[in-house]
Every structure is written in structure tokens, then in C-alpha cells.
Chains A and B, each alone.
Chain A
Amino acid sequence: MNVEQNALFAPPSEAWTPVARNYTRLRRLMSLINWVFVALIVIMPQVIVLQLVAGARSSLRWTLIASSGAIIALAVWRIWRQGAIARSWAYAERESDLYIKSGIFNRRLTVVPYGRMQAVHISAGPIERAFTLATVKLVTASAQSDAMIPGLDPQAAAALRDRLTERGETQATGL
């Protein structure tokens, strides 16, 4: 990856604020749960067939071994990558806009002017709470904005919300 590519998603001056370190662990857990489900869906029918159909034994045993091996390899790789994905989330508060970047494969950088924010929500589901994390969501008049910052420390999230709403109030413009 060359320098210019990184510049595409860089904030103009200030450095990115990363999300909490715990967010990696949350993502790893969620990924693990997903892959357990995938493994169940792929492997269970094969095991059942193996048990019930006598003639299927020798040929199916190898597909079972191959598919479980593939799933485990994929799962390990995906779970390992969650660290980088979690670290790819970052935000930067500038004078008049909020910058949010995310993604490794499909990268995106969303810029929301404070004046365009209609509301700032904080949400924390049961799993997020277990990891002491919260998500900040920005609402604009556009549904496409879809601006959110997951994996924030609750205190940091609350402080961010307060800063954002304050700036939103002072810089608000009509629609």
C-alpha cells in the first residue's frame, strides 16, 4: 500500500482518534459466534447423513474433513483480521466537520458537517455493555449518511455526544 492511498482517507490535519481497544475483542467474539453458526449449518447435515446412510461413509468422510478444515481455516483468518478491521474505525473532530473512516477491503470516509447533524444517539446493546462499549450514531436529514462510530468507551461516547450536539447547535443551518 503506497503513501498516496493512505492520504485518500487521511483527515486534513489532525490525527485520527482510534476507537477503544476492547472493540477488537467484541468483534472477535461476534465473528467467532458467526463462524460457529456457519460450521453448524455446513457440518451438521453431513454428520447426520454419515450416521444414517451406510453407503455414504467413505466418500462423505473426506468432504466432511475437507469442509471442516476449510471452515476452521477461514474462521481463524477472519477472527485474526477482526483486529485490523476494528482498528480501521477511527474519527476526527475538526473545526466544522466530523470525519469517520472505516474498513480495510471496502474503505470509506464519511464527513458530516456539524451544522447538518439533527441528533446524536448513543446506544449500547447487552454484548456491547459487557465489553463496556457504546456506539455513537449521527442523524442527518439524509438516510444515506449512515454515520456511526462503534466501539467507544461509554464516557468517551457521552463526551463526544455532548461536544457534537453543542457544535451542532452553534453551527446549525436550516434545511
Chain B
Amino acid sequence: MTQYPDHEPFHVVKSEPTQDRLLEHPHPLTPIAKSWIAIVAVGYFILRDAPDLLREAPNGGWRTLADYWYIPMGLMAVVLMISLLAGYLTWRFTSFIIDDQQVLIERNFISKRSERVAFTKIQSVDVTQPLVARLLGLAALRIDVGGSGSNANIEYLSRKRAYQLRDYLITRAHGKHTGVISSAQTPVGTAFVDASATDLRIVAVPPSRLLASMIVTNSTIIILILITVTVGFAIWRDQPLALASTSLLLPWLLGMAAYLLNRMRNEWNFTLTMTPDGGLRTASGLTSLTSQTIPRNRVQALDISQPLLWRIMGWYRVRIDVLGLELEASGNVPANLLLPVGHKSDVELVLKTLWPRLALNAIEMHPIPRRARWLRWFDAQTFSWGFDERVLVAAGGLLRRRTSIVPHARVQSVRISQGIIQRRLALADLQAHTTPGPVDVVCRHLDHSAARSLAMSELDRMRQARSSPELSLLYAPTEPPRWAPPTVQL
């Protein structure tokens, strides 16, 4: 391990580039992983046209493939040559240089481009493995530097190297010093799970539960009811033509199937692990495996939701707002998901890991006045709100029960709003604004004086929570974490 103490007088000399510097080239298979579609397409056309070549023999009569073997073979060879050449050029002219301060990505093929990411700017590092790359044993690194559209991509490295580099970059982003060369000895995960021996696995969602949870949803039931009604009507009135009207559901069914397949693709094999440095990491994916690091101090709000039918199974879904992560962050990454589907014990485990000091069960929840029934005919009794010194909680919903939690320190601003019917009923909504993401924290239909005093006291609690570190939901730096990470050999 190379360590440079701050008072070291010859710091500059010591950290000269040759000292501790790693030069990586993209894996030679990179062009195949990137442009496999083109290669497959060329191959497909060649094979498709091969029989035609046989039939249109110039001298009349039939010739065998043996006479023309050189045509498809030659084309294949050209394609192969091109991809090999492209592989060589990418390998030769792209380099990833990682030294003691920064990551440099240099592309010097025709025009020179150089991207530089200082370790201090790194917000998180994700590893993605699209299907073909995964089959080839390759993985890409996506370095998130906070600003939008300014991510640095390292495509592609061997899976092992990608994991190692990710671990190294995250360690450095946390301000710790480790040697870049020695990072090669870190234990790493496999093609199926991204969890090294030093990680603590918190929750894993078995595929069977994910599949079951997708079938047991509100829309499935609505569709079943509609189909039953139509079929029942057709039988009752002896009108077989009425069955044709079920085809009207087709677009909806297709849309739902696409949505479910997409969810399955993204959320398959979901695992949540805790890394030795206390960060959270999610990994999931059916064809492509994506793993994402979530620094806990960037989590802004959280919501626990439960569709009506999940109550039978006791399942919940946990989503979060993460600072700097938009909803559809990087293509197919469910970046805002902390638990696709899990039992109450899983939710508690996730909450305990994310915010050890959150005491959700100890928070006194207040129901909303009964007169709210005029506005919410069926679900007025489900709404409630509450707070303690650390968080504000809003709950409610019948078809989808939701509990939204936001730490006071993360609330950006608050708003009281009131429509005309609410005014007649002396009710008001209170909304706590959080950074962009799936979580909305709205306490609905409070008694107006309660809304007013909650808003005013919330402003005080926001101030209080921001200025006193002991109100943090994470452990104070002096307090030892409940889970002591095993010593890492870097």
C-alpha cells in the first residue's frame, strides 16, 4: 500500500506518474460487445442469400456450395477482419490511465480526446454488463460525477478488472488511499452476482418471488374482472360475438406484458449488499447485470409501497430519491429501487441498513379528520401523518398503500395547499419537497390548523436537523457501526 501523508515534504516528487499508475486498454473484444448487432446482421444476410447463389449458377445447371464457398466465407472473413481491425484500433488508441489523483480516458484515433475525472469528483461508480458483454466476460464502468451528461464511461474491461477498478475508485472517492496496482488482488464477484467476500449481503430477492409479485398486481385483477364480466355476459345473453370485445383489451394487455417483461429484465436476481466502506450496492438484471453504488448520505427520501393484493402475501416495495439520480438514470438501471419486493422483515432490514437511527414504529401517526370522507369517499381512513425529531412521515392509499419518509434535514421547502372543497371542510394538504425521484411526501387532508402548525414546526425541525449532526439518521462518526467490516486487503 502506498501512502502519502499530508506533511510529506517531497509529496510531489513521490507521486510522480510512474510511481503508482495504471494503464488499461479496452479489452480487444470491445468492438464485438459494442457492435455485435452489425456483425450478427451481416452474418444473417450472408446465410440468407447463400441458397440464392446456388440457384443462379451462370452456366445453367446446378452447382454445389463447394463451388462458391469463397463468397460467403470471404464476406465472413472481411467482417471478421474489420472487427479485428476495429478491435486492434480501439485497443491501440484508447487508454484508461489511472494514477494517484485521477482517471484519464484518452481516445487518440483520428481526433484527440481526453477526459479527466478527479477522484474527489466521483459520486458513484456503476458496473454494467449488457448481455453480449456478459457472455464475453466483459463489463463497463460508468463513473458518475454528479453533473448531468458528464459521466465518464470505461468500455469494456474484463469483468474481474472492472470490479477491481470499481472497488478501487470508490475507495479513492471516499478519500482513502490505496495503491492502484495492489487493487488487483481484491477479491471479486462472478457473472451472476457482484458481491465479493468483503461485502455483506443484506437482501436478495429470489426470482420466484419477483415473478409471483408481478402476477399479483392490481392491473392483473382488473383485467381478470373485465374478462370475466365479458365472458359472463356472452354466456348469459347467449351472445358469442360479445367475446370479440375482449380484443379491445389487447393493447392494454400488450402494454402490461411489456411493462412486466421490462421489470423482470431489470429486477431479476436483485441483491442489496453493504460494502466495507458503508455504502450500499444494488445489483440486478436478467440479461444484463448492472450494479450500482448508492452512497447513503445522498439518499433524500424513501417510500414503502404495497399494492392491494400484495397485502395477502405481506409484500412491500421500497424506493428512494437519490441526489443527482434522475428517474431513468442510465438506461435500464432501476436506480431508485432499494427492494423490488420483500417481506416486512426485509423492509426492516433495509431501513436499518440505510438509516440505522430511524425508529419508524415509534413515530406516533395521526389520522386525518373524519370529514375528509367527503373528498376521499373510500380511503379517508387510510391517511395518516406523523413526525419525530428526525423524519416526517406521510402514509395512505387503498389500492396502493404508501408510506413516504423524508428526513427533516433533506426537505427543500414546504407548501400548504387548499382547494375550494377543502376550504369548505377546513382541510389542507402539506407537501414536503424533495429532490427529483419517485418519492412524493404529501400529508393529505389535514385539519387546517394542524397543517399550519405542522408546516411552521417543520421549518424549525428542518433547521434543527440540518445544524445538529446528532439528529442524523446515520451513525455519528464517533459511534462504531453495528456491523464491523472485515479487514480489507488492498
A residues bordering B, Cβ < 8 Å? 4-5, 7-9, 12, 96-97, 105-113, 115-116, 140-145, 147, 173, 175
Q: By the criterion CB–CB under 8 Å, are B417 and A144 in contact?
A: no
B434 (CB) vs chain A CBs: closest residue = A142
Q: By the criterion CB–CB under 8 Å, are A4 and B448 in contact?
A: yes
Point out the residues of chain A lying under 8 angstroms from B466, CB to CB: 115, 173
14 pairs, A vs B, C-beta closer than 8 Å: A4-B448, A8-B452, A9-B416, A96-B463, A97-B459, A108-B415, A109-B415, A113-B413, A113-B462, A116-B412, A140-B433, A141-B323, A144-B434, A145-B412
| Interface size of B in residues (CB-CB distance below 8 Å) | 32
Q: In the complex the two chains form, what is the Cα distance from A4 to B424 in whole Å? A: 12
Contact partner of A143 among B431, B436, B449, CB < 8 A? Answer: B436
Q: In the complex the two chains form, what is the Cα distance from A58 to B475 in whole Å? A: 80
Contact partner of A105 among B412, B414, B419, B467, CB < 8 A? Answer: B419
Q: In the complex the two chains form, what is the Cα distance from A5 to B417 in whole Å? A: 12
Q: By the criterion CB–CB under 8 Å, are A140 and B426 in contact?
A: no
A80 CB to nearest chain B CB (Å): 18
Q: In the complex the two chains form, what is the Cα distance from A108 to B442 in whole Å? A: 14
B429 (CB) vs chain A CBs: closest residue = A108
Point out the residues of chain A lying under 8 angstroms from B410, CB to CB: 175
Q: By the criterion CB–CB under 8 Å, are A142 and B412 in contact?
A: yes
Q: Mark B228-263, 1 if CB is under 8 A from A, else 0.
A: 000000000000000000000000000000000000
Point out the residues of chain B lying under 8 angstroms from A8, CB to CB: 416, 418, 428, 448-449, 451-452
A102 (CB) vs chain B CBs: closest residue = B417
Contact partner of B417 among A107, A116, A173, CB < 8 A? Answer: A107
Point out the residues of chain A lying under 8 angstroms from B413, CB to CB: 110-113, 116, 140, 142, 144-145, 147
Q: In the complex the two chains form, what is the Cα distance from A140 to B414 in whole Å? A: 11
Point out the residues of chain B lying under 8 angstroms from A109, CB to CB: 415-417, 455
Q: By the criterion CB–CB under 8 Å, are A105 and B420 in contact?
A: yes
Point out the residues of chain A lying under 8 angstroms from B332, CB to CB: none
Q: Mark B45-66, 1 if CB is under 8 A from A, else 0.
A: 0000000000000000000000
Point out the residues of chain B lying under 8 angstroms from A9, CB to CB: 416, 418
Point out the residues of chain A lying under 8 angstroms from B419, CB to CB: 105-106
B396 CB to nearest chain A CB (Å): 18
Contact partner of B463 among A110, A113, A142, CB < 8 A? Answer: A113
Point out the residues of chain B lying under 8 angstroms from A147, CB to CB: 413
Point out the residues of chain A lying under 8 angstroms from B287, CB to CB: none
Does B135 belong to the interface (CB within 8 Å)?
no
Point out the residues of chain B lying under 8 angstroms from A4, CB to CB: 426, 448-449
Contact partner of A107 among B418, B433, B455, CB < 8 A? Answer: B418
Q: In the complex the two chains form, what is the Cα distance from A167 to B463 in whole Å? A: 15
Q: By the criterion CB–CB under 8 Å, are A111 and B431 in contact?
A: no
Q: In the complex the two chains form, what is the Cα distance from A140 to B432 in whole Å? A: 13
Point out the residues of chain A lying under 8 angstroms from B436, CB to CB: 142-143
Does B423 belong to the interface (CB within 8 Å)?
yes
> Contacts A7-B452, A173-B466 given: A111-B418 contact, CB under 8 Å?
no
Does B456 belong to the interface (CB within 8 Å)?
yes
> Contacts A4-B449, A108-B418 given: A140-B459 contact, CB under 8 Å?
no
Point out the residues of chain A lying under 8 angstroms from B448, CB to CB: 4-5, 8
Q: Mark B379-417, 1 if CB is under 8 A from A, else 0.
A: 000000000000000000000000000000010111111
Does B435 belong to the interface (CB within 8 Å)?
yes
A10 CB to nearest chain B CB (Å): 9
> Contacts A96-B463, A111-B459, A145-B433 given: A5-B423 contact, CB under 8 Å?
yes
Q: By the criterion CB–CB under 8 Å, are B323 and A175 in contact?
A: yes
Q: In the complex the two chains form, what is the Cα distance from A144 to B463 in whole Å? A: 19
A64 CB to nearest chain B CB (Å): 32
Q: In the complex the two chains form, what is the Cα distance from A173 to B465 in whole Å? A: 11
B428 (CB) vs chain A CBs: closest residue = A8
Point out the residues of chain B lying under 8 angstroms from A105, CB to CB: 419-420
